[in-house]
Every structure is written in C-alpha cells, then in structure tokens.
Structure 1
Amino acid sequence: MEAFWDLYSKEGIAKTSVREIVGKAGYNRSTFYEYFTDVYDVLEQIEASILPDIEKHQNIITETGVHLPLKHLTEVYSRNKKYFVVLLGKNGDPVFKEKIKNVYKALLRPHLQSPGADDFILECTLEYSISAFLGVMTYCFTREENPDIEKMVQLLWSLMNDGVMKNFKRSASIE
C-alpha cells in the first residue's frame, strides 16, 4: 500500500499502474492480485481504513452533548493528514470527499434533527458546515506541517457560532 500511496500522491490514480506499484514495492504482479483487484481497489481499501469510525465518534458526541467535538475531529484529521491532504486536495478523489461528508452527516444529523424541522435547511446546513470544516482543515494542513490545532478549533468554533461576516470584521479590526 505504501508503494501505491507514494505513486498516487505524486501522479494521481490515472498515472498509477500495477507495474509501477509492484516494481516499487519489490513484489510480482501475482502477489498484488492476491490482495487487490486493481489500483482502484488499493485506493478504496486505503480510504476505507481512514474513514472515521461512526460508532466511536457517536459515543464521543453523546458524551460531550450536542456540541461538536471539533478538537477530536481535528485530531482525527491530524492523525491521517498524510492521506486527507492528498485525497481532499485539488488532485484528490472526489468520491472520497463525498464519502467522508456522508459519514459526518450521518453522525451529526440525529443530534441536529428536530420534529417538524425543515429537512432541506438541515441538509444544506450540514453540507455547508462539513464542507467548510474539511476545506479549512485541508487548507491549514497543506500550508503548515504542524498547524496550531487549538487555533484551528477556536476559528472553526467562531465560524460556526458567530458566522463568516463577524470573523471577516474581526480580522479586519485586528490589522
């Protein structure tokens, strides 16, 4: 998998071949095919291994109440940044972005739904929030090797609670 990842992160899936993977890993093609059907299967297995464990995260949310455990989620991203930065980046896998958004939507939806609420507004708000969270995390982790997690959590919390415009005004008044 490491040989695949080295090639994929530099070249993308279209330019990553089984021949290159086995050559880099020092194995033969038959060994590769014992574990994977093709390069897409390798990518799928890597993605599945880093998708958040919804039961574990559900327990964390239950323990902390409805407040989103932003620090925990940023730590999950940090632990898997080698993969997330590439998969969620400009040359990444758009399917993975949808998979991870769907995991987080399923995780948060039960805590945010209420009887008689407008489902359209809930789904759009979840999409906006999760897309923004993943975008901020990807941006921060591609700019710095070890970004300040506390600062990111504070900013994300402020964006969620105060909104974008208040944060623009706040940053303008600092300078």
Structure 2
Amino acid sequence: MMKESPKVMETKERIKDAFFELYKDQKIEKISIKEITDKAQLNRGTFYVYYKDIYDLLDQAEDEIIQELLAKLKGTIGLLLFQDHDNFSIKPALQLFIKHSKYLKILLGSNGDPNFTHKLKSIVIQSVKEMIEASPHAKKKNLDYIMEYVSSAQLGLLSYWLRKDMELDIDEFEVIMKRINLNGPLSYLRSED
C-alpha cells in the first residue's frame, strides 16, 4: 500500500473529525455528507475522492483503529501468554486507546456502531486464538469460552475507562488491568493494596 501524502492525510483527518463530531450527538442515519463537508470546510467532491458514502468512512475509520490496535496487541499478548508475566507492559496498547480516545468514546458509546464492538472482539479473538493454537504449551480446551470471557472483560474495562474520561492515569490503569488479567477479579478484590 502506498503511503499517503501529508495533505491527503490532513484532508482525511478533517473529514473524519467532522464526521465524529456529528456522530457524537446523532445517529449515523441522520448525518449527511453535506453536514460533514460543511463542518470540515471542504466540498462534497473532496469527500467522494476518499469515500463512497458515510458508511465507507465509518468502516475505514474503524478498520484503521482496529489494525493499529491489533499490531500493538499481538506483541503484548505474545509476551503475556508465553513469557515472564512480571516484565510485560500493556502500556503501548493503552497509549493507542488514548490516541484514538475521541473516536473510541463515540464508537463504543450510545450512538456508536454496535458492529464495531463485535468486529473488534472478533478480530482480537481470532488473532489471539491463532497465537495460542500455534503454541505447543498453551491449553486449548474450552478456548472459545475463555476467549469470549477475556475479550468481553477487556473491552468492557477499556470502555469504562474511556467513559470515565480516563480519570485513572495510564500507569494506575495498567496495574489494575495486569492484576485482574493475571490473578482474576476476585483475587484483586481480596488484595490488601
């Protein structure tokens, strides 16, 4: 894939920002391309250079976020599953959530795309399952149930953190996620600190 020029990237970002600003407050069916281009201070033709319609814009924005998250998660998950648990960090993945927080808050919010959550979970589950199934050491019994539980819990906790405007700093949130992931929620609740 050819790298986009800075001007193209800036134009697409303006369109995406305008769309998400509108999407924050209204359902996608109510948003017009004219509203997006007016807000982005571009003409309708410019929109159509990059997108077929509003749903194409949404799909491209979602896919961009998912692919970037997936790239970071693969390294993190590999370390978590097969290496020293004390020396792994989920901070790179959390930093991506922060980077995309203005979009993720909307996508995971009340007006957001219900398919986004499903798409994100499905892609993450499939990637993690491939890693686990390739490992001779990982337990594979009831893997579908475990993956559903873990992915729902992770996405739920990350969504909650976003809804709370990331009131916990990244280091504190990382500690909570790591402890819950490694020891389970009941152990975390019983811990002294």
TM range (shorter): 0.7 to 0.9
- CA deviation after TM superposition for structure 1 residue 59, in Å: 4.5
- CA deviation after TM superposition for structure 1 residue 65, in Å: 5.9
Q: Are residue 58 (structure 1) and residue 74 (structure 2) matched?
A: yes
Q: Are residue 48 (structure 1) and residue 69 (structure 2) matched?
A: no
Determine the C-alpha separation between the residues in 1 that align with 2:79 and 2:60: 30
Q: Which amino acid aligns with 2:157?
A: V
CA RMSD in angstroms, aligned pairs only: 2.7
Q: What residue in structure 1 maps to residue 46 of structure 2?
A: 31
1:8–1:16 Cα contact (<8 Å) kept: yes
List aligned pairs for 1:150-165, cutoff 5 A: 150-165=171-186
Determine the C-alpha separation between the residues in 2 that align with 1:49 and 1:58: 16
| SS at 1:147 equivalent | coil
2:76–2:90 Cα contact (<8 Å) kept: no
Determine the C-alpha separation between the residues in 2 that align with 1:166 and 1:65: 19
| SS at 2:42 equivalent | coil
Determine the C-alpha separation between the residues in 1 that align with 2:95 and 2:170: 8
53-62 vs 69-78, greater mean Cα deviation: 53-62
- Give unpaired runs (5+ residues) of structure 2: 1-14
Q: Are residue 134 (structure 1) and residue 125 (structure 2) matched?
A: no
The alignment of Structure 1 onto Structure 2 pairs a total of residues equal to 170
Which one of the candidate residues 114, 117, 120 is aligned to 1:97? 117
Cα deviation per residue 1:58-89 (whole Å; 9 max; x = unaligned)? 34555676357522221221111111111122
| SS at 2:67 equivalent | coil
2:20–2:106 Cα contact (<8 Å) kept: no
Q: Which amino acid aligns with 2:23?
A: Y
Q: What residue in structure 1 maps to residue 188 of structure 2?
A: 167
Determine the C-alpha separation between the residues in 1 that align with 2:79 and 2:183: 24
Q: Percent identity?
A: 31
Determine the C-alpha separation between the residues in 1 that align with 2:165 and 2:75: 31
Q: What residue in structure 1 maps to residue 104 of structure 2?
A: 84
TM-score by length of 1: 0.80
Determine the C-alpha separation between the residues in 2 that align with 1:155 and 1:128: 17
Cα deviation per residue 1:94-114 (whole Å; 9 max; x = unaligned)? 111122112221332133336
Q: What residue in structure 2 maps to residue 11 of structure 1?
A: 26
Q: What residue in structure 2 maps to residue 21 of structure 1?
A: 36
Distance 1:29 1:111, change over 3 A: closer
